[in-house]
Amino acid sequence: AKRNGRNRYEDFRIEMDAAARKRRLVELDLRDAITCNQLRLYYQPITDAKHDAVIGYEALMRWHHPQNGLIMPIDFIPIAEETGLIHSLGSFALHEACREATTWAGNQTVAVNLSPIQFKNSGLVSVVESALASSGLSPERLEVEITESVLLDNTLGNVGTLRKLKALGVRIALDDFGTGYSSLSYLRSFPFDKIKIDRSFINDMQDSPEALAIIRAITGMSRSLAIQTTAEGVETDEQFRRLKEEGCSLFQGYFFGRPQPSESRLLGFAPV
């Protein structure tokens, strides 16, 4: 059927053009974002089971766009990955997070997300080394978070890259655990320091026996492998209590604190 004289294919094509134009605009703006200092890291606390100490923070990127305001990672990280800009963004995140962590009164760790695309750059290890060297941060205080897709393609020697990072003293966490294809087997390919249980399981645990069973399997297995588990996306006291019972060691989520800029974190402003 024709709508406004257009057929379905033309509708589709017009939509695609609009999407492509939008992407192109974001890509152009994103180049400026890096040079014009529009990228910020927000920090979300990670606490221990007693909830009496913040043991670290995860650095999460935000884009303060001069016209469009605050832009979330879901709206620019994928485009950065497609265009290769992720290498600059990732280098910024590593340098900035390490520098920031040296200003903290405690010796908390700082966790930085690494995109699988960053592993295609043979310079990744030297970027990490240079972030550590220029900030003076002790390597044990830096943690990198990767997803299993990094391990999916071993032709790139990604496991070798992880070993080099580990040899520097950096901690390696496996993020979004439980959501991928064959997560369990990845635990054999590399000695991870930490597993982060994906937020979707925490979100569903009270209504879904399956979600709870998976959490139980992950914590049980991590215990036998002596790997720490972080529960992501903990929003309620009840979830916190249940996850403690299941043996999770570390906790992150709105219940403990939202990601916020370091200035407000230090000054105790309301979370953003």
CA gap 59, 73 in Å, rounded: 12
Total interface residues for Ca ion by CB under 5 A: 5
Q: Look at residue 72 and give the partner it binds from ligand C2E, Ca ion, none, a contact being a CB closer than 5 to 8 Å depending on partner kind.
A: ligand C2E
CA gap 144, 146 in Å, rounded: 6
Residue 86 and residue 115 in contact, taking contact as beta carbons nearer than 8 Å: yes
Short-list 88, 39, 28, 41, CA closest to 63:
39
CA gap 52, 129 in Å, rounded: 32
Residue 30 and residue 76 in contact, taking contact as beta carbons nearer than 8 Å: yes
Q: Look at residue 116 and give the partner it binds from ligand C2E, Ca ion, none, a contact being a CB closer than 5 to 8 Å depending on partner kind.
A: none
Q: Look at residue 262 and give the partner it binds from Ca ion, ligand C2E, none, a contact being a CB closer than 5 to 8 Å depending on partner kind.
A: none
- Within 7-36, which residues bind ligand C2E (CB under 6 A)? none
Instruction: Give the x-and-dash track for 188-227 against Ca ion (CB under 5 A).
Output: ----------------------------------------
Binding segment toward ligand C2E, per CB under 6 A, in 70-78, 132-140, 150-158, 204-212: 70-78
We find the least distance from the C-beta atom of residue 111 to ligand C2E, in angstroms, to be 9
- Within 105-134, which residues bind Ca ion (CB under 5 A)? 113
Give strand ranges (E) for 73-132.
109-113
Residue 60 and residue 272 in contact, taking contact as beta carbons nearer than 8 Å: no
- Within 52-71, which residues bind Ca ion (CB under 5 A)? none
What are the backbone dihedrals phi and psi of residue 268, each rounded to the nearest 5 degrees, phi first?
75, 25
Question: Which residue among 72, 168, 213, 266 contacts ligand C2E (CB under 6 A)?
Answer: 72
Short-list 58, 41, 114, CA closest to 253:
58
Question: Which residues would be at the binding site for ligand C2E (CB under 6 A)?
Answer: 44, 60-61, 72-74, 77, 90, 93, 113, 115, 145, 175-176, 199, 233-235, 252-254, 259
